[in-house]
Chain A
């Protein structure tokens, strides 16, 4: 009798085992579990809509495979660099020209009909009318040009690999090296942890350079003397978040700053003294993985502004140039 009971119970257990396996195979409860260690970036990216002071009015689709850089000339023509070319759109967003480059440009700047393109460790000069002009000699063999700013007399070139900004004359003669580390003069040098290092000129020709590792923008004299700086590290809209931000900036005709950040993916407006004013745009789209893919070397969120203060944003993940106007 006892033996029968044991056999019966054992067989019952055996059937329980088979039932458990079958249930586990044919039902899927594991998917309903949340992630106990989730790092919710979306929550951080959420932006109070009352802070947004610009709105997207239009966009340009250059239909390029990869987009890298953006520039605007004095007559509001829009230059978009991507693949191995630069496409030119006029004020009414009609494509008017395509310049072929020798290879892919990381950054571009335009002065009159001369286009400066940062390609690898050197600058190449193109004429918008007659094509390739010349290659400038690179500073040294390593180098990685991430930004160019031009006015009538100077060409400023930011090199993320060397962590230096070079001042050239329009013929490519090196005049000054800005930001060289020099303990004796108390110059710490730029801290550039990733390949984002931007330089821009204000309407009254003041030179501004980002020090991304310190989350600040620095104003230099044209000979590289320190003048002033602003910027704080913060997740809040008033500061710059992450390891190295802002990644790009431009200066509006009224002297206000527009900055773009990776990580939290936001574009902000700061006044002439660097005080946070409002949010221009937040491109973070929860349905794209753009951030993750772009964090390595891609040129994301390049900025430019025209003479009327309209802001142009290069959205590298959707390969568009988005145009923002004040609300």
Chain B
């Protein structure tokens, strides 16, 4: 939140001033006669900055290595060992923080709040995986992301999902992304970090609910491979879109596909494009008409979504602590002043004028009104485009990876009988 996260320098400045005022005050220390030695005050230092930069180096290094293993060596085994490495390093050693998934909120916050000083590492963790994806596909997802890595270990009995189920559930990450951006752009909260299901496991420490959510997701992951990556991860959306136009990408066959169908069930994530059966060969003009229809109703969906989103802006805004406090104060003013919450008591003790809080809260609610329109419109757009894209059937004769949703885990590679062409 703005109040919590930003203004690092300002806080520093202020604290220096406060300390200077207090510096004049002294405490009459007892004059000990015995040779009593006062213990040293315990102020352990945080992890060094150098180690933070080392994390970035580790990210670049491991991404380069896994990309080489995937695209050049085509080695599933190599990817597996990289998965173990990042699980140990970025997961259990670094305790899952900072991760690329969460960094998108820091970036959003930095874009909306010029006075928020984003750490360089957060920028690096946001941009580097996207750059690699732009050139080589989602090799970050394959085994570097600790969240993906822990789920990948649990891909034991993957069952295929119907493609419509995948499409419908695939809309959830867009909602999650929209909310994450909305809440960080309004300086409210980092919800992706708050509901990170596996960070508790990496820390061996979490509330019961977060442990339960992490456990359930891993359990589901035995049958529905990588449920968080596919149906929740907001950063995955960005990677998916970037990966669609990536320069290079893992291919199932090292040479020409011989359509042997061996790889058909090899992908646990349903990310293999099958050859189009000829009976589905519809007439081109019907297809174009359908596409045009969906494409044309998309603007209406955007407006409808935006309007719906704006209807709920007060509910959305109530997540913001300042808005929540203002609401509680309003209610407590109406009702008899009996049991008051700690927030209200504390607020009153600060002596801050109540009208100022109301003005600030109203400004935030206004932001949420605009944010509600944008969020709803965005979801309407996504919905419309998804419908439109369903109406296009690309004619394929080969088995290829779906560049958007493929995690480049290289499982399919081992199933392909085609040997690499010797040039």
Contact = CB atoms under 8 A, between A and B. Distances in A.
A202 to B, nearest CB: 26
A193 B28 contact: yes
Interface in A234-290: 286-289
17 contacts: A7-B161, A10-B227, A11-B165, A13-B220, A14-B231, A16-B216, A17-B216, A21-B195, A21-B213, A26-B319, A31-B343, A195-B25, A195-B28, A287-B345, A288-B349, A289-B349, A297-B25
The 7 closest A-B pairs by CB, nearest first: A297-B25, A10-B220, A289-B349, A21-B195, A10-B224, A161-B28, A10-B223
Given A7-B223, A20-B212, A297-B25, 9 more contacts: A3-B159, A13-B219, A14-B217, A17-B216, A21-B213, A181-B31, A192-B28, A193-B30, A287-B348
A273 to B, nearest CB: 30
A215 interface: no
A28 B30 CA distance: 48
Chain A CB within 10 A, most for which of B319, B324, B349: B349
Contacts of B319: 25-26
Given A7-B161, A11-B224, A28 B324 contact: yes
A24 B209 CA distance: 10
A6 interface: yes
Contacts of B164: none
A21 B175 CA distance: 13
A13 B215 CA distance: 11
B191 A20 contact: no
B318 interface: yes
A167 interface: no
A322 interface: no
Contacts of A163: 28
Interface string A6-45: 1100110110111011001110100110010000000000
Interface string B328-351: 000000000000011101001110
A79 interface: no
Interface residues of A, number: 35
Given A25-B195, A163-B28, A194-B28, A18 B172 contact: yes
Given A11-B224, A13-B219, A160 B315 contact: no
A1 interface: no
Interface string B21-48: 0100111101100000000000000000
A287 B25 contact: no
Chain B CB within 10 A, most for which of A25, A194, A288: A25
Interface of A: 3, 6-7, 10-11, 13-14, 16-18, 20-21, 24-26, 28, 31-32, 35, 144, 160-161, 163, 181, 191-195, 286-289, 296-297
Contacts of A193: 28, 30
B287 interface: no
A14 B28 contact: no
Contacts of B191: 25
Given A25-B319, A160-B28, A163-B28, A14 B213 contact: no
Interface SS, B side: helix
A155 to B, nearest CB: 22
A195 B195 contact: no
A149 B361 CA distance: 53
Nearest to B222: A10
Interface string B135-172: 00000000000000000000000010100010001001
A16 B319 CA distance: 21
Contacts of B232: 18
Nearest to B319: A25
Given A18-B172, A287-B345, A296-B22, A6 B28 contact: no
A26 B165 CA distance: 26
A144 B217 contact: no
Contacts of B209: 20, 24
Contact of A20 (B27, B213, B318): B213
Nearest to B189: A25
B207 to A, nearest CB: 10
Contacts of B172: 18
Interface in B200-251: 209, 212-213, 216-217, 219-220, 223-224, 227, 231-232
Nearest to B312: A26
A3 B160 CA distance: 9
A25 B320 CA distance: 10
A17 B26 contact: no
B170 to A, nearest CB: 12
B229 to A, nearest CB: 12
A181 B30 CA distance: 12
Contacts of B224: 7, 10-11, 14
A155 B28 CA distance: 23
A155 B25 CA distance: 25
A161 B26 contact: yes
A17 B217 contact: yes
B328 to A, nearest CB: 8
B27 A26 contact: no
Interface string B159-202: 10100010001001000000000000000000100110100000
A103 B78 CA distance: 74
B213 A17 contact: yes
Contacts of A31: 341-343
A6 B159 CA distance: 9
Contacts of B220: 10, 13-14
Contact of B349 (A18, A144, A287): A287
